[in-house]
Amino acid sequence: MLKKYGKGDVLVIPVGEENVALGQIVEKLRGGNVLLAVFSELLKTSDTVEVEKQRLDDPVFLVETMDLRIKEGAWRVAGNREVSSVIPSPVYKVWVEPPGEFRTQDIHGTVGGPVGADEAAKLKLQKSFSPAVVETALRALHGFSPWRSAFDELAI
């Protein structure tokens, strides 16, 4: 049976055989994707996750990913709480033709105003990463596998 999930759900993400990390759904997006804040602290798989006692305001990754691992239960929902107001809502860049310029774009795909070349150079393009990439990046962050330059795109 497919699991249901919502904004604010705190997820338990496997990091190897004995460890887990926490993630929180910041936004539910169209097409079965979520904006996920992922936190660096490792917990033991046997630990009870008391959601209200967790520090969830300083994510190491802020990533758009598919909801497959959530729906199948591989990333189990430990509880729900309000998303911290200090977690930034990402602003991306998108090329608009015509008139041939970069503009801002929010997580929902809404295109905003034009940005200059200097600002555009600092902004990322909106991308979605597979749940397997999120898990591999977490393992690499903790030294369980090699760090790949592609994981830099997940970092806040």
Mean pLDDT by 10 residues, the chain (156 residues): 93 96 96 96 94 96 97 96 96 94 96 96 96 97 96 93
Q: Quick one: 61 and 108 in the same domain?
A: no
- Are residues 76 and 30 part of one domain? yes
pLDDT value, residue 1: 75
Are 32 and 100 found together in one domain?
Answer: no
Rounded Cα gap, residues 47 and 43, in angstroms: 7
In a domain, 62, yes or no: yes
Q: Is residue 45 part of a domain?
A: yes
Q: Global pTM?
A: 0.94
Residue 93 and residue 105: Cα distance in Å, rounded? 6
Residues 117 and 69 in one domain: no
Strand order in the sheet with 91-96: 111-114, 101-106, 91-96, 124-125
Question: Are residue 134 and residue 114 in the same domain, yes or no?
Answer: no
Bridge-based pairing state of the strands 124-125 and 91-96: parallel
Those residues whose C-beta lies under 8 Å from the C-beta of residue 127, and which sit 6 or more positions away, are 64, 153
Query: Are residues 34 and 102 located together in one domain of the fold?
Result: no
Based on the structure, what is the number of domains in the chain?
2
Asked if residue 21 belongs to a domain, the reply is: yes
Could you list the residue range(s) of the whole structural domain that residue 30 is in?
Answer: 9-88+126-154
